Amino acid sequence: MDSPFGLLAELTYRCPLSCAYCSNPVNLGDYHDELTTAQWQRVLIEAQELGVLQLHLSGGEPLLRRDLVDLVTSARYLGLYTNLITSAVGLSRRRAEQLRAAGLDHVQISIQADEATLSDGIAGTPSYAGKIEAARLVKELGWPLTLNVVLHRRNMDRVAAVLDLAEELAADHLELANTQYYGWAWRNRDALLPSRAQLDRAEAVVRAARKRLKGRMDIVYVLPDYYSQYPKPCMGGWGKRQLTVTPNGDVLPCPAAHALPLPRASVHEDSLARIWARSPLFQSFRGTDWMPEPCRSCERREIDFGGCRCQAFQLTGDASRTDPVCHLSPDHGIVAERVRAANEENRLGDSVLVPRPHRGRPGRR
């Protein structure tokens, strides 16, 4: 069994945006009692002792935590590489300079689109101008800059303009990642799933940009699972390389696993080391012994590990099923039907989106 390489620290699920594709839990009320500064610092120590090298500070919006600088300082002391995953709402010059002095290594900013009207509409609040200002500030202060754009039917046709914006901002990395259908995104799947024609156009644009920007910008383009022949490996394998700690201290093998009917693991009740090595949650789908057919006899079983357990549960009600994204899955028809609907000529592409509610109260210490 490998030690985890990365820790996703979801410091809070409060967020000033209300993106309809948000994959955070729908039941936000379960996460009001956030870990204190001292509790997070203990988690970081245990993570470093467990072998974690990279710390991703996320949410919600991690800038809503008043102790963010303190947590970065602690992580720096422990020798962890720190990456701030942020909407950039609240990233003032003063806050940015404090984080730089504390030792923050990298900043990843989410951008909803390439222009204000569409971006603000998707985010549910005026935020585009501040994001662009923050991106320029990140480069000014000498950080590597990653821009992350979650793609869906509403912005898929703007990929070329998004690439132009990333080039203008001198981004070092651009992640064009199609929506993963968990949380609020699951509720809005029918309005978000792009068509095959949209994907084909975007892929051609990305392919040309990679050639043109080679050596200047790293471009990651992630297809939507529903259009893939084979599923992606769940976080590189369930309980294999990554772990997530949620705002209330729950520990998960992946950010969406809170939805699965599995035993709970929490830093309030056990250490990260024991949770990683012994908890029923992390043992549930680790390795390949749990697999049903056709996964058990498939030559790809140690490549994609049966696909995403959360997606299997979401689509079939059984987390142990082969991910229906796989064309070999006996449940593949579920995915094929959604793809067919997404490509109907008169599909309701303007169906009403259910936005994630705003949650932006100041963080605790």
The answer to whether 19 is a known ligand-binding residue is yes
**Is 15 marked as binding a ligand?**
yes
Given CATH 1.10.150.120, say whether it is the number of domain 6-227: no
What single-letter DSSP state applies at residue 8? E
CB under 8 A, 24+ apart: contacts of 335-339: 335/226, 338/189, 338/190, 338/193, 338/226, 339/193, 339/196, 339/226, 339/227
Q: Where would I find the beta strands (DSSP E) of 111-215? A: 145-151, 173-178
Q: Distance between CA 318 and CA 313 in Å, rounded?
A: 5
Q: Is position 298 annotated in a ligand binding site?
A: no
Q: Give the residues of the chain that fall short of pLDDT 70.
A: 1, 345-365
Q: Among candidates 58, 67, 59, 68, which has minimal Cα distance to 14?
A: 59
- Tell me the C-alpha distance between 199 and 152, whole Å: 10
Distance CA 297, CA 319 (A): 19
- Look at residue 144 in the predicted model and tell me its pLDDT: 98
Instruction: Determine the pLDDT at residue 365.
Output: 34
Threshold 0.85, pTM exceeds = yes
Name the helix (H) or strand (E) containing 292: none
